[in-house]
Structure 1
Amino acid sequence: MKQKQHGVILIMILMIITYLINKVVFDKDSSIPFLSTLSFLLISFYLLRCRNLTPRIIGCILIFLLSSEISYFIVFREQISFDIISSIVETNLIETKGMFLSDGVKILGITILLTLVITYGVNRFYKNQFFF
């Protein structure tokens, strides 16, 4: 019975986190983005809990991608778009180095920190529980 309570509490927490991510970062307030973000988080957390190394690495990569979107929003207050990615690709090496040293270090630092905290938190929370 206690495991069911933990599962319900976890789903409620994930739903709140998903709603906040969609509302604040992605500026969406409808059901389809909510469900896709929730399923993305559930799949990522499930992959982090697998015993094999390959699914864990894939889960870390997925969490890293979500964390990079969140950290970019924290630094610049806007979403990563195709125009931003294409402008990064089209710049020369000197400008890229300058951009990375000015803002890239902050974004990468926040991204790595978020990824490590989420990965550690998921593994720590489910260390002795096998209902996932």
Structure 2
Amino acid sequence: MADTQATQTTITEQSDSNPMTLGKRVNGKNWHEPKTAFRPTAGLTSFAKRMAKQKALDSVKAKEREMKEEKAASRQKWIQGIKDRREAKAEKERYAKMAETMHQKRVERLRRREKRNKMLKS
């Protein structure tokens, strides 16, 4: 009786410490993953869980979209600033060139007139 009890304890100790090894595959295709049993209901989730997951995904996508729009808006603002500065620089150079050939008062008068025309156009 003591002998059977001792063998049982050694078997349980052995199974706990060493996981079961599969050994060599019968078909010889050792590079393939070992197959598991086919369980068609293993991947199914409830409708509520699927809807919760979809809702979470939608909120993440909405946040992503919002962040992209924000980034694009800041980029457009940056580009518009560059364009405005270039336009102002070109206009300043044009007036400086006009001032070389014309009187300063006439240049100022033309500048005011062009400003009025710009206001009327937009």
TM-score category, normalised to shorter length: under 0.3
Q: Which has the larger radius of gyration?
A: 2
**Structure with higher RCO (Cα < 8 A, 6+ apart):** 1
**Could you tell me the TM-score, scaled by structure 1's length?**
0.22
Structure ranking higher in helix proportion? 1
